[in-house]
Amino acid sequence: MNSNTKRLLAADAAHVWHPYASMVNAPPVFPVVSASGVRLKLADGRELIDGMSSWWCAIHGYNHPVLNAAAQAQLAAMSHVMFGGLTHEPAVSLTERLIGLVPAPLETVFFSDSGSVSVEVAMKLALQYWAARGETRRKKFLTIRGGYHGDTFGAMSVCDPVTGMHSLFTGFLAEQFFAERPAVRFGEPWREQDIASLKHCLETRQREIAALILEPIVQGAGGMWFYSADYLRRARALCDEYGVLLICDEIATGFGRTGRLFAAEHAGIAPDILCVGKALTGGYMSLAATLMTRHVAETISQGGAGIFMHGPTFMANPLACAVALASIDLLLAGPWQSRVAAIEKQLREELAPCAKLDNVANVRVLGAIGVVELKQPVDMRVAPKLFVDRGVWVRPFGRLVYLMPPYVIEPEDLRTLTGAVFEVIQNSNIHPQRT
């Protein structure tokens, strides 16, 4: 390790706080100096095959010439301008592109700068919608256990009460309604009793609920659970029956990750409000969007306030919008569906042996998502290094070791990733050692 890398790591350890980490006895970090394709190059010269897509957003890999060109062209014209009272071509074109991709009747777009904020926007839209209609008791949200919607306070309130850090903020977070997580897995025969908990909540709390918010088909960081499309269909029908808005959080699942452009397509439904982010810019920079029906937008606009009370400083950043347009075009122009299908097939075949290991509770795959659920949590001071030593970047959390590779990954690189997962899970050191 050279002196500059030592200095960087020392300064990092002393002053930089990483996500979900402690400043005391922190887990190791690995300095990255460049990234290209599906590989991250470390300061010591080693290269890692990326199995995370940088938290699921770098669907095209890194340093893509098309996205680079889009960023450079927009940078030369205008990197940023406020969106209050002004507009620009990248934002309008991206709005039109998104509306053309999502199901009708979603046709109004509000931009923000992160997935968590897009969920905050969705929740505020729902609250303002009912206030505009004079139904002021509707100030609660209904969701299902096992979900994750972000780390800001509104979003945290609809995350799973156990895995969503609720206990740390008891007394401050808004208390919401939670139905049981769907038990019927994706592709399994439907059982009507699976919707009973959600239906009961709607029946008994209908006049208090502004919206049902959930991640369609795939729950992300709350548990990586894949549930039946029939559940989502029934949830949509129940929202219609009881007069409750439906918010679909597709921040993790949007833009092809589950094998459909949006996960809600598996159920053939459209929400009243839709959140997208992460892969929206192909991982180049932070951008998110909240889409809604014209009915929701016009109801709010005709209400007492007359406006929607939100306005991020970097809303509709031209640079981010230009890259997002290029990323969407790049995705749609390529064989993304066959690539995701091939990744799914390979993940199923190559992660299957993990199911026979003693410390494995479950293995599940959908689209370009492969999950190995363990019986015990992993030791985050040990597990990442075990993967790095095998030339891959995999970052587990809790009891979950998972892969969400870029869509452009080659079979041999994916084979290296799945092989590393099996080898590391076999290693007893992956779990915290008892003293």
Q: Edge-to-edge strand order for the sheet containing 392-393?
A: 32-36, 39-42, 47-50, 392-393
Q: What are phi and psi of 361, to 5 degrees?
A: -95, -35
Phi-psi region of 10 (alpha: psi -120 to 50; beta: other; left: phi over 0): alpha
User: What separation, in Å, do the N-terminal and C-terminal C-alpha atoms of the chain show?
Assistant: 32
423: which DSSP letter? H
Query: From the candidates 6, 20, 240, 375, which is the catalytic residue?
Result: 20
How many Å apart are CA 163 and CA 398, to the nearest integer?
A: 9
Query: From the candidates 278, 402, 407, 413, which is the catalytic residue?
Result: 278
249 is catalytic: yes
Query: From the candidates 62, 113, 140, 148, which is the catalytic residue?
Result: 148
**How is 198-258 classified by DSSP, letter by letter?**
HHHHHHHHGGGEEEEEE-SSB--TTT--BB-HHHHHHHHHHHHHHT-EEEEE-TTTTTTTT
How many Å apart are CA 40 and CA 63, to the nearest integer?
A: 11
278 is catalytic: yes
231 is catalytic: no
How many Å apart are CA 296 and CA 347, to the nearest integer?
A: 40
Query: From the candidates 113, 160, 230, 249, which is the catalytic residue?
Result: 249
The answer to whether the bond into 105 is cis (omega within 30° of 0) is: yes
Q: Which residues are catalytic?
A: 20, 148, 249, 278
